[in-house]
Homo-oligomer: A and B are copies of this chain.
Amino acid sequence: MTAAPVPTVDLPALAADLRISVFRTARRLRYQGDAGITPTLLAALATIEQHGPMTPGALAAHEHIRKPTTTRIVGSLAELALIERTPDPLDGRVSWVQITPTGRKLLHRVRRRHDAYLSDRLKRLTPDELQTLGNAAEILDRMTEADR
């Protein structure tokens, strides 16, 4: 299945294909996902764990979402006791959010066992294909991170 090297890549075509593939896959994942947590919250929680304590503003920048959206996400995560908010002692405007043990546990549990839909489908792929998807995930992350 490994295609021969391509001399010239058709960028617009790749862009169109990728857009539709990613969009459709995301739609499926949103509604097939179990995990007990929505993709939006999961992504935010993962970011908070990965970067340690951070302000809502920093979270917004990382997730590429606007501040009002962040407010709601942080509120939801806090209500689920997955994160904790503490006010900044020096600057009364800012607050800090960090993951709680509960949040960490959920995150790890989700990572380990709760992705049945996706895992089932991944199981049918070859190691090469899995490798490709892993690399692609990393590339997508880097790509969408690149404009700040």
List chain A positions with a Cβ less than 8 A from chain B.
1-3, 5-6, 9, 11-30, 33, 39-40, 42-43, 46, 63-65, 110-113, 115, 118-119, 121-125, 127, 129-141, 143-144, 146-147
Nearest-neighbor residue (CB-CB) of A129 within chain B: B139
- List the B side residues contacting A23 at CB < 8 Å: 26, 29-30, 39-40, 43
Q: Are A131 and B22 in contact (CB under 8 A)?
A: no
Nearest-neighbor residue (CB-CB) of A4 within chain B: B131
**Copies per complex?**
2
Q: List 5 A-B contacts (CB under 8 A).
A: A12-B119, A18-B133, A19-B118, A21-B137, A22-B25
Q: Are A3 and B133 in contact (CB under 8 A)?
A: no
- List the B side residues contacting A16 at CB < 8 Å: 110-111, 115
Q: Top 9 A-B pairs ranked by shortest CB distance? A: A136-B136, A26-B26, A15-B115, A21-B137, A15-B118, A16-B111, A23-B39, A21-B140, A25-B140
